[in-house]
A and B are shown apart, each in its own frame.
Chain A
Amino acid sequence: DAKTTQPPSMDCAEGRAANLPCNHSTISGNEYVYWYRQIHSQGPQYIIHGLKNNETNEMASLIITEDRKSSTLILPHATLRDTAVYYCIVRALYNQGGKLIFGQGTELSVKP
C-alpha cells in the first residue's frame, strides 16, 4: 500500500472550514483514498473515501487532484467535536483482506 504524508497537527477556528491535506505520490491505479478519524481513546470512525472523483457526504468532502498524488479532506463547518486525529489511508481493497495501514495522522484542534 502507498505511503501517505500528513502534517502532524493543525488548528482550526470553530465554524470555519478545516482543510486537511494528504500526499500520496506513489499511489497506484487500483488504490483508494480513505479518511478516518479517531477521537481520543475511541475506535476510529470512517469519514469518506474516493478513487478519482471528488466525493461529498454528510460529514465531509474529499478533493483528489487529477494526478491522484494528493488529496484534501474538507470539514465545511468545524465544531469542537471535530477535534481528533485524522488519518489519510491509501488502500488496495484486496491486499490482506483490505487492511487499513494507519500512519501518524494529523491532530486537528478546533478552537472556540
Chain B
Amino acid sequence: DGGITQSPKYLFRKEGQNVTLSCEQNLNHDAMYWYRQDPGQGLRLIYYSQIVNDFQKGDIAEGYSVSREKKESFPLTVTSAQKNPTAFYLCASSMGLSSSYNEQFFGPGTRLTVL
C-alpha cells in the first residue's frame, strides 16, 4: 500500500520532555511538510523540506526541529521550548515543485497531549 504513515496515533508526554513524531512515505515524493492543527482551527505550517538534507521553517517553527536524512522520512521533534505543544500534528508529502500538479497527501496524524 502506498501512502504516508505517522506513528503513534496518540502520544502522551510530561511537560519539559522532548518528543519525536515519526512520518514515513513510500510515494517517492520529494517534498514533505509538517502542520499543526488546534481544535476548531485550520492547519498551520511548521516546517517543510523540498529535498533530502534541506528543510525550511514554516510559519510556526519556534520550539520544533526536523531532519531529512532520507527521502522517505521527515521526523519532527517537539522540544520543551514549545509553549503549547498539545495539538494534532499532520505530516504531508508531495511530488514537489518540479511538478505543477503538486497535490499534498496527508498522513493520519498524531495527537500529542502534554500533561
* B45 near A104: Cβ-Cβ < 8 Å: no
* A86 vs B17: C-alpha distance when bound (angstroms): 35
Q: Is the interface of B mostly helix, strand, loop or mixed?
A: strand
B2 interface residue (CB < 8 Å to A): no
A97-B42 contact given A41-B109, A42-B108, CB 8 Å threshold:
no
* B45 near A98: Cβ-Cβ < 8 Å: no
Q: Is the interface of A mostly helix, strand, loop or mixed?
A: loop
B58 cross-chain contacts in A, Cβ below 8 A: 96, 99
B104 interface residue (CB < 8 Å to A): yes
State which of A45, A46, A102 has its C-beta within 8 Å of the C-beta of B42. A102
**What's the tally of chain B residues with a CB closer than 8 Å to chain A?**
31
* A46 vs B107: C-alpha distance when bound (angstroms): 12
* B104 near A97: Cβ-Cβ < 8 Å: no
Interface string of A35-54 (1 = CB under 8 A from B): 00000011111100100000
* A43 near B107: Cβ-Cβ < 8 Å: yes
Listed from nearest, the 4 A-B pairs whose CB atoms lie closest are: A102-B42, A43-B106, A97-B48, A102-B43
- Residue ranges of A at the interface with B (Cβ–Cβ < 8 Å): 41-46, 49, 87, 93-94, 96-105
Known A-B contacts: A41-B88, A43-B106, A98-B94. Give 15 more (CB < 8 A).
A41-B111, A42-B108, A44-B106, A45-B106, A49-B103, A87-B42, A93-B97, A93-B102, A97-B56, A99-B58, A99-B59, A100-B45, A100-B92, A102-B44, A104-B41
